[in-house]
Structure 1
Amino acid sequence: MSELINNREQLTVDKSTDRKVLLKTVFWDLFNGKDPEEVKAFADEKIGKVTVEEIMELSQYQHDVLEEKALSKSELERISAAHLSIMEGNIIEIENPKDIPGHPVHTFHRENREIESLLESKLLPLKEEFEKEDSPANIYKLIDVCNLLYDIDKHFTRKEQLLFPYLEKYGINGPSVNMWRLDDYIRDAIKDTKKQLTNYNGDKEAVLSTLHYIAEQVTTMIYREEHILFPMAMSNLTEDEWIKIAQESDEIGYCLTGPATVWKPERADLDSKALTEGFIKLETGLLSLNQLELIFNNLPVDITFIDHEDIVRYFSHGTERIFARTKAVIGRTVQNCHPPKSAHIVEALLDDFKAGKKDSEDFWIKFKDKFVYIRYFAIRNEQKEYMGTLEFTQNIEPIQAIEGEKRILSL
């Protein structure tokens, strides 16, 4: 990766790479702290309008560099904001389906309009009221707005769990890390504001500062999505892939609104048939594919299997999953299925399994109204070779509540 961490003076220019080098120069100037106004003047003069494809290439370059540098939150935000301010207004727009009701991008746009409306009609006016008077009534109103705004988690989760995997498939990894981190910062800020307001201690400035941060970052994220991410996805994803995204979006849910209608594309050649009735001979029995899937899906636990190359190969699909899973994760590396801030824990656990240092690991956490027991098992063959990892997740809250004995059927 060290070859990416060069100073701008080391970049060579020729006819074919001129614009690429200039775009990288803009990035390095911002990275090194040069005045954004000077950098913008340089970009306007030397580069002018940029295409989605150019932004896509630059996004991948930035991803590689920023991963190597392991920037702090403030540095990542500074560079991202400065870079966006320079690109703003210079991106060549491409046609996208924001006017095709039911298409996932149309739904993302609908949600963004509702989010903007919530900011403009409630959060910002209440912020001004709170600044004048931090009364209990104004505090309660702001808590209600934060509860509504946290619905943005569903918007972000669909983007991260459905859209990012397909972009990765086409070698576009920048959004999976950089944008996901920024999404997490927004989520954390909303939760922090709720805590500040719920346990209000008179520090008005701290609340106002966080509210300002939320409004600014959410507005900026909407611009990133609609002018960069969605056009980038539209340039690469096939209609079949968009159909899959639309089909799996319901499982995660929507933010403040939902699809305008069911999207019915002119061509949809996905095979929606049930599993064929082939049979699998096991050591202790014979099952049809349909029976096998029904067994897995009716277990009172969630199961996910990751193969020896860290690729997600299977997950059970019960009626009440604890953590959302979509079919888009199949074929994706498990590290990219977790938020960047927790990916290193997954990596360390898999390394221990592969090295034979551990055969299992358990975690237990409070999640919403559940007490979740998460177990990981290293799967090995007869020769003790590592074949993959089984994740086993269960809500044990009802089990913990059991007392005495039960020896008769329920009525």
Structure 2
Amino acid sequence: MSESINNREYRQKVLKQVITELHEGKTVEEVKGIFEAAFQGVSATEISEAEGALMAGGLPVEEIQRLCDVHAAVFKGSIEEIHQPTDQTQIPGHPANTLIRENRVIEKIIEKELRPYLKEDTKENLSNVANGLQKLSSIDVHYLRKENLIFPYMEKYGITAPPKVMWGVDDEIRDMIKELQNNLNNLEWVQIQEKAEEAITKITEMIFKEENILLPMLLETLTQDEWKKIAAESGELGYLVEKVPAWNPVEEYQPAVKEEKSQAGVITMPTGVFHLEELVRMLDTLPFDITFVDKNDVVKYFSQGPDRVFPRTKAVIGRNVSNCHPPASVHIVEQLVADFKSGKKDNEDFWIKMKDKYILIRYFAVRSEGGEFLGVLEVTQDIKPIQEITGEKRLVGPE
């Protein structure tokens, strides 16, 4: 046991050393020997654990991200021996199979739709490069599924470093493609070639990491039930490949991470679980007011945010919605509800000025999955601050 602990500590020190040298300007070729000596023959899972320990100790994810190219340079030719192929990657409809199929599509776009046209500076080639980049930008769908469906399951098992690092590289690839698309007509041909090849290299390395580091880790960790959930939700985000078949394995496993069961004070929804206080406080934190009227025209609920546009008291609960409006507008409300019930309308918007505020009032018909009318949702918001927004403010952008 002590030997194992010492090995982990030693490998973490090696990772820090490699990151430091990369930060100081050394190339991948210059540092990969140090990395290889410490990690040759070590599973991808153990390497991710070492990286996770460094992040837990305060090392920024951007620094860990520097290791991505070192991983690719060292493990080509060795990871295949560590992780033997599994049948799951050959099952049509299995998310692992779909990921691999999409990578072949990405490679085909690069080799057939982009790279051949980078050789010679002609007007026709420039147009073809633009088309190739447009097709390549669809890689975003592939990355979105990975980030929004696969990464959450990894995090449930405490595997946090690889998702953060890989997401950062995904964003770099997206930005490289977008930047080249936006500046294609303003760059010299040699600059187009260099930037395109740089993006292609980054994409190719990501394909390698997905199939030789990410997938083996997932196949070792996720249960069949979790893979099924990923497959079931993948269609909502879309695919790069056509005709992804439904995957319905006979054998089922209980998920290793148990969901909270329904109990007092717990509200179980199709997409998550709330404790009652969490749900109440979340609804009261929304930057707009909501009120729900049921199918019998009875007020059932309203949120209690700190800055309500219109006053509400608990006395309104159980009241007929027609009695909650001035006589001059009640006929409009009644007609709107009638249109919702009949299916003539699904929503209606109104907007009014109130002193220094500009109020948008929106009404939505709430229907069951089968289309049955369940009630009306009113959403009220002061949109003046939104109208005054200009420019951009990104979560991630130039410093």
SS of equivalent to 2:90: coil
> Which residue is equivalent to 2:172?
185
Deviation at 1:174, TM superposition (A): 1.5
Out of 103, 111, 120, the residue aligned to residue 112 of structure 1 is: 103
Q: Judge conservation of contact 2:147–2:163 (CA < 8 Å) in 1.
A: yes
- Aligned partners of 1:148, 1:239: CA distance in 2, in Å? 33
> Which residue is equivalent to 1:262?
246
Per-residue CA deviations over 1:364-389 (Å, capped at 9, x if unaligned) read: xxxxxxxxxxxxx9868x9xxxxxxx
- Aligned partners of 1:217, 1:192: CA distance in 2, in Å? 14
**1:218 maps onto 2:210 in alignment:** no
- Aligned partners of 1:48, 1:175: CA distance in 2, in Å? 18
Deviation at 1:18, TM superposition (A): 3.7
Out of 195, 208, 214, the residue aligned to residue 229 of structure 1 is: 214
> Which residue is equivalent to 2:14?
26
SS of equivalent to 1:254: coil
Deviation at 1:43, TM superposition (A): 4.3
Per-residue CA deviations over 1:129-181 (Å, capped at 9, x if unaligned) read: xxx3142x222211111111111111111111111111111111113321111
Kindly tell me: are residues 145 and 234 of structure 1, through their superposed partners in 2, closer, same or farther at Cα, counting changes over 3 Å? same
Deviation at 1:103, TM superposition (A): 0.6
Out of 126, 139, 142, the residue aligned to residue 117 of structure 2 is: 126
Alignment of 1:156-167 (within 5 A): 156-167=143-154
Kindly tell me: are residues 177 and 222 of structure 1, through their superposed partners in 2, closer, same or farther at Cα, counting changes over 3 Å? same
SS of equivalent to 1:50: coil
> Which residue is equivalent to 2:333?
none
> Which residue is equivalent to 2:188?
203
Kindly tell me: are residues 241 and 118 of structure 1, through their superposed partners in 2, closer, same or farther at Cα, counting changes over 3 Å? same
Q: Judge conservation of contact 1:19–1:47 (CA < 8 Å) in 2.
A: no
> Which residue is equivalent to 1:301?
none
Q: Judge conservation of contact 1:243–1:268 (CA < 8 Å) in 2.
A: no
Q: Judge conservation of contact 1:100–1:106 (CA < 8 Å) in 2.
A: yes
Alignment of 1:292-311 (within 5 A): none
Compare 208-217 and 83-92 and name the one that shifted more. 83-92
Deviation at 1:313, TM superposition (A): 7.8
Q: Judge conservation of contact 1:151–1:256 (CA < 8 Å) in 2.
A: no
Kindly tell me: are residues 153 and 86 of structure 1, through their superposed partners in 2, closer, same or farther at Cα, counting changes over 3 Å? same
Kindly tell me: are residues 25 and 94 of structure 1, through their superposed partners in 2, closer, same or farther at Cα, counting changes over 3 Å? farther
Q: Judge conservation of contact 2:89–2:100 (CA < 8 Å) in 1.
A: yes
Kindly tell me: are residues 32 and 246 of structure 1, through their superposed partners in 2, closer, same or farther at Cα, counting changes over 3 Å? same
Q: Structure 2 stretches of 5 or more lacking a match?
A: 255-266, 275-280, 289-302, 307-311, 313-347, 351-399
Q: With a CA cutoff of 8 Å and minimum separation of 6, indicate the structure with the bigger relative contact order.
A: 1
Out of 142, 148, 153, the residue aligned to residue 129 of structure 2 is: 142
**1:93 maps onto 2:83 in alignment:** yes
Q: Judge conservation of contact 2:118–2:193 (CA < 8 Å) in 1.
A: yes
Kindly tell me: are residues 184 and 40 of structure 1, through their superposed partners in 2, closer, same or farther at Cα, counting changes over 3 Å? closer
**TM-score normalized by the length of structure 1:** 0.58
**TM-score normalized by the length of structure 2:** 0.60
Q: Structure 1 stretches of 5 or more lacking a match?
A: 1-12, 271-311, 316-326, 333-352, 363-376, 383-397, 401-411
Q: Judge conservation of contact 1:49–1:90 (CA < 8 Å) in 2.
A: yes
One-letter code aligned to 2:164: V
Kindly tell me: are residues 123 and 167 of structure 1, through their superposed partners in 2, closer, same or farther at Cα, counting changes over 3 Å? same
Q: Judge conservation of contact 2:55–2:61 (CA < 8 Å) in 1.
A: no
SS of equivalent to 1:264: coil
Kindly tell me: are residues 251 and 225 of structure 1, through their superposed partners in 2, closer, same or farther at Cα, counting changes over 3 Å? same
**1:171 maps onto 2:155 in alignment:** no
Compare 88-97 and 150-159 and name the one that shifted more. 88-97
Kindly tell me: are residues 236 and 266 of structure 1, through their superposed partners in 2, closer, same or farther at Cα, counting changes over 3 Å? same
Deviation at 1:194, TM superposition (A): 1.3
One-letter code aligned to 2:165: N
Root-mean-square deviation (CA, aligned residues, Å) is: 3.7
**1:155 maps onto 2:139 in alignment:** no
Out of 48, 52, 57, the residue aligned to residue 40 of structure 2 is: 48
> Which residue is equivalent to 1:276?
none
**1:249 maps onto 2:237 in alignment:** no
> Which residue is equivalent to 1:275?
none
SS of equivalent to 2:89: coil
Out of 17, 26, 41, the residue aligned to residue 5 of structure 2 is: 17
- Aligned partners of 1:359, 1:17: CA distance in 2, in Å? 46
